[in-house]
Amino acid sequence: MARVCSYCGKRTESGGQIARRGLAKKDGGVGLKTTGHTLRKFKPNIQTVRTVIDGAVRKVRLCTRCLKSGKVQKKVRTPAAT
């Protein structure tokens, strides 16, 4: 299953990491030299949460930003009868 937020559509993005060596000119060196490029992935923090959607309780996969901002209503757990 893909790592995608059901609400905002946030998904895994790819980007680059640049490896450098040397000392910056502003610090008295001759400048930074690039020694390599690495492709990497930026993965969103996806959580599976039980939410109330159209009056029914469903499990959805949400990013933590949507969860913290209150964009969905979490299921309220009722206390167990004793």
Distance between CA 55 and CA 50 in Å, rounded? Answer: 12
**Beta pairing partners, 16:** 39
Residue 1 lies in a domain: no
Has residue 22 been placed in a domain? yes
DSSP helix/strand/coil, 70: coil
Which of 3, 36, 8 shows the shortest CA–CA distance to 20?
A: 36
The answer to whether 65 touches 8, Cβ cutoff 8 Å, is yes
Q: pLDDT (tens digit, 9 = 90+) per residue, 32-75?
A: 999 999 999 999 999 999 998 888 889 999 999 999 998 888 88
Q: 5 in a domain, yes or no?
A: no
Minimum mean pLDDT range among 13-17, 22-26, 56-60, 72-76? 72-76
Alpha carbon 11 to its chain centroid, in Å, reads 8
Contact by Cβ (8 Å): 42, 12:
yes
Q: Is residue 74 in some structural domain?
A: no
* Domain assignment of residue 47, given as a range: 13-69
Asked whether residue 39 is domain-assigned, the answer is yes
Assess if residue 26 is contained within a domain: yes
Q: Is residue 55 part of a domain?
A: yes
pTM beyond 0.85: no
